[in-house]
Amino acid sequence: MALARLGKVVPKTSILFLCDMQEKFRPNIAHFPQIVAVAARMLQVAQLLEIPVVVTEQYPQGLGPTVPELGAEGLRKFPKTCFSMLVPEVEQELGALPHLRSVLLCGIETQACIMIQKLIKDPAPDSGLLSLFPGQSPGFS
């Protein structure tokens, strides 16, 4: 089973991406309060373990700010207008973290934001990231 191969989260080589947790999605996303609650817990754990965090906002002028219950008030928000979290400002931020091997991803419409091929040059073999790319992991075909 593929999930049995998922390894431990190593804070020094991990990053948390919180994708587009914004007000305008609230009435249109099923289970929105639960999704935000899980993301908020992920953020709390990341902060306790000193895991870097990237928070993106899709077109914030139209879709509104990040929801307050996420608890990301003091974090920098990276605005974007594309369906990838890897905008130039995020790439620059990641440049200071050359040892990344694992990405923790949660949020809204994350399947559209998962353009992370360039994020990690050498993903940990047990991270589950390899399964995101067809032909690189037999666990998810």
Instruction: List active site positions.
Output: 20, 80, 113
Instruction: Check if the beta carbon of residue 43 is closer than 8 Å to that of residue 17.
Output: no
Which SS3 state, helix, strand or coil, does residue 25 take? helix
Q: Both tokens of residue 75?
A: 């974090």
Read off the amino acid at residue 116.
Answer: I
Cα distance between residue 10 and residue 46, in whole Å: 11
